[in-house]
Structure 1
Amino acid sequence: MCETTLLFYKPYGVLCQFTNPGDTPEPRLTLKDFIALPDFYPAGRLDFDSEGLLLLTNHGPLQHRLAHRQFAHARTYWVQVERIPADSDLEPLRQGIRIQDYHTRPAQVHRLEPEPLLPPRQPPVRYRKSVPTSWLELTLTEGRNRQVRRMTAAIGFPTLRLVRVAMTVMIPQRRRTPQPLTLTLEGLQPGQWRWLTPTEGQWLQRLG
Structure 2
Amino acid sequence: MNYYFIIYKPYLVLSQFSSQDGKQSLKDFFDVPKDVYPVGRLDYDSEGLLLLTNDTALNHRLLHPSFAHEREYLVQVDGAITEQALQQLRSGVIISIDGREHRTLPARATLLQPSPEVPERNPPIRFRKDIPAPWISLVLTEGKNRQVRRMTAAAGYPTLRLIRYRIEALELGALQPGGIVSLPRKTVYKKLFHE
In the alignment, which residue of structure 2 is the partner of 1:185?
172
Q: How far 1:45 sits from its partner (Å)?
A: 0.7
Shift of 1:81: 0.4
CA 112–126 in structure 1, closer or farther in 2 if over 3 Å, else same: same
Q: CA deviation at 1:122?
A: 0.6
Question: How far has the Cα of 1:13 moved from its partner?
Answer: 0.8
- Amino acid of the residue matched to residue 26 of structure 2? L
Find the aligned partners of 1:205 and 1:128 in 2 and give their Cα distance. Answer: 39
Runs of 4+ in 1 over 4 A off after TM superposition: 204-207
User: Residue 69 of structure 1 contacts residue 141 of structure 1 at CA under 8 Å; is this kept in 2?
Assistant: no
Deviation of 1:126 after TM superposition, in Å, equals: 1.2
2:67 is aligned with 1:68:
no
Check conservation: 1:44, 1:68, Cα contact below 8 A.
no
Output the CA distance in 1 between the equivalents of 2:192 and 2:167. 16
Tell me if the contact between 1:3 and 1:196 (Cα under 8 Å) persists in the aligned partners. Answer: no
1:33 aligns with 2:28: yes
Size of the aligned set, in residue pairs, is 189
State TM-score, norm by structure 2.
0.90
Structure 2 residue corresponding to 1:77, chosen from 56, 73, 81: 73
Distance 1:167 1:5 in 2: 14
Alpha-carbon distance between aligned partners in 1 of 2:191 and 2:161, rounded to the nearest angstrom: 30
Paired residues of 1:62 and 1:205 also in contact (CA < 8 A): no
* Map of 2:17 onto structure 1: 18
Distance 1:160 1:54 in 2: 20
Contact kept, 8 Å, 2:14 with 2:26, in 1: the verdict is yes
* AA at the equivalent of 1:35: F
* Ranges in structure 1 where 5+ consecutive residues have no aligned partner: 169-181
Structure 1 residues 202 and 154, CA, compared in 2 at 3 Å: closer, same or farther? closer
TM-score normalized by the length of structure 1: 0.85
Give 1:206 deviation, angstroms. Answer: 7.0
Identical-pair percentage: 48
Quote the Cα distance in structure 2 between the aligned partners of 1:45 and 1:51: 10
Shift of 1:199: 3.6
* Structure number with higher strand proportion: 1
Q: How does 1:43-54 map to 2 (within 5 A)?
A: 43-54=39-50
